[in-house]
């Protein structure tokens, strides 16, 4: 009987210590900026740049010269375009009728912002 009581107490203590140690709050001693904030700013910048450089040929994520190659998530994934780097690569060395956006026209940072926007907006 004593052994069963001790085992039950041990289980309760272990469970309580595990549950008590879990917290969704950040550690004390410093504020961490939200991780989404920088990405959100990049997506907003990407939207501005998309409107300036891309929207004429890709209105609402479409494609005026090749309707089969849209910027919609399913179409991108079917062509193995899943990361911002994939989109930047295509911007730098396009296929089909797309114009080329070299680093002199569009910085790597701006091209990356456009890519982030495309992946976010047209998922």
Model confidence over 25-83: pLDDT tens digits? 555 555 555 556 778 899 999 999 999 999 999 999 999 999 989 999 999 999 999 99
Q: Are 42 and 113 in contact (CB under 8 A)?
A: yes
Cα angle: 21, vertex 26, 32; to 5 degrees:
160
The domain 36-121 is placed in CATH, from the list 3.30.565.60, 1.10.357.10, 3.60.21.10, 1.10.760.10, at: 1.10.760.10
pLDDT tens profile 10-29: 444 444 444 455 555 555 55
Dihedral over Cα of 103, 111, 73, 52: its sign: negative
Tokens read off for 51: 């409107």
């Amino acid at each position: 009987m004593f052994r069963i009581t001790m085992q039950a107490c041990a289980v309760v203590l272990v469970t309580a210590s595990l549950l008590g140690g879990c917290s969704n709050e950040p550690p004390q001693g410093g504020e961490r900026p939200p991780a989404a904030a920088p990405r959100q700013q990049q997506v907003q910048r990407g939207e501005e740049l998309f409107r300036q450089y891309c929207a004429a040929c890709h209105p609402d994520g479409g494609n005026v010269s090749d309707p089969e190659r849209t910027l919609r998530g399913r179409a991108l994934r079917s062509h193995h375009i899943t990361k911002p780097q994939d989109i930047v690569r295509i911007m730098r060395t396009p296929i089909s009728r797309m114009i080329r956006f070299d680093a002199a026209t569009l910085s790597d940072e701006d091209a990356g912002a456009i890519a982030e926007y495309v992946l976010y907006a047209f998922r």
